[in-house]
Amino acid sequence: MDMLKKLFSLEGKVVLITGGAQGIGKVVAEHIAAVGANIVIFDQQEEKAKAAAEAIAQEYQCKAMAIGVDVTKPEKIAAAIKKADAEMGKLDLLFNNAGIVLHKSSLDLTPDEWFKVINVNLNGIFFVAQAFGRYLISHNKQGAIVNTASMSGTIVNFPQQQASYNTSKAGVVQLTKSLAVEWADKGIRVNCISPGYIFTELTSFVRQDWQDIWKELTPFKRMGKPEELAGAVIYLLSDSASFATGTDLIIDGGFTLV
C-alpha cells in the first residue's frame, strides 16, 4: 500500500487545471483531488468553474478554487497565477487542457475562425505553459506539466473536416517536445496526452451518424470516457514519471493503429 501511495499519490500538491469547468478537465480534476491534491481551475466559464471547484472541495475534503481566465490572454494568465499562488500558498503542477473544436472545411473557413482555433488550442497552451514555467523558475521550484493534445495531432479525422483543430494539436505535440528539452535542466517535465474520441460536452453535440462512424473506426467500437484519461494524467504529473519528458501518450481505443 505504501508503494502504491508513493507511486501515484499527489498528496500535498497544488494542481492547476485549465478548462476544468466541464468535460475532461473537470473529471480529471476530480481524480487528481481524489489522490490528495488541492485544485485550482482556470476556465473562461467562471460560474461553472467555481461550481466545479466547490463540488470538488466538498467531495474530496480538499482546497479548491476557480478563476475566470481566458487562456489566450497572457497578462490575465500571469495575474491569475499570482492570485492562485497567494490564495493556495503555492502551485506545483499543471494540467494544461482548455481547448475548442470547429468542424468546417478549409475552403469555407474564415480567417477569424482559423485564428480562433489556433489561438485557444495552440497559443493558449503555450501562454499558460510559459506563465507556469516562469512561475516555477522564479520560485526555484521543479514541477511537471501535462498538455492535452489529441490523436488529431497524428491522424486526420473522418468524416468531419477540421484542419484548424488537427493543425493546432500537432502543434501542441511539438510544443510539448520543445518545452521538454528547453526545461529539462530546470527540473520541469513536459508531457502530453493525445485522447481519441471521448464523450464530453465537446463531442456530444455532434451528429449521431458521425459518432457512429467514429465508433466503427475505433477498434474498441466505442468512444472513451473522460475518467479513462485520469490515470494517465496523474501518472505523468506524479514522481512515478520522473524519467518521462516529451512523451505523447496516445489513449484512443486503438484508433490510430488501423
Ligand X SMILES: NC(=O)c1ccc[n+]([C@@H]2O[C@H](COP(=O)([O-])OP(=O)(O)OC[C@H]3O[C@@H](n4cnc5c(N)ncnc54)[C@H](O)[C@@H]3O)[C@@H](O)[C@H]2O)c1
Does 97 bind ligand X (CB under 6 A)? Our answer is: yes
φ, ψ of residue 31 in degrees (nearest 5): -65, -35
Q: Does residue 191 interact with ligand X by CB under 6 A?
A: no
148 binds ligand X (CB under 6 A): yes
Give the whole-angstrom CA distance, residue 221 versus residue 85: 43
49-88 positions binding ligand X, by CB under 6 A:
69-72
CA proximity to 132, closest of 207, 56, 189:
189
Distance CA 25, CA 237 (A): 14
- Cα dihedral value 98, 153, 200, 234, nearest 10: -70
Alpha carbons 199 and 28: distance in angstroms, whole number = 14
**Looking at 38, 44, 162, 218, which residue binds ligand X (CB under 6 A)?**
44
SS3 state of residue 54: helix
153 binding ligand X? (CB under 6 A): no
Q: Is 25 in the site for ligand X (CB under 6 A)?
A: yes
The reply to whether 150 belongs to the active site is: yes
Can residue 157 be called a binding residue for ligand X (CB under 6 A)?
no
Instruction: Tell me if 253 contacts ligand X by CB under 6 A.
Output: no
Interface residues toward ligand X, by CB under 6 A? 19, 21-25, 43-45, 69-72, 97-101, 120, 124, 148, 150, 195, 197-198, 200-203
Catalytic site positions:
150, 165, 169
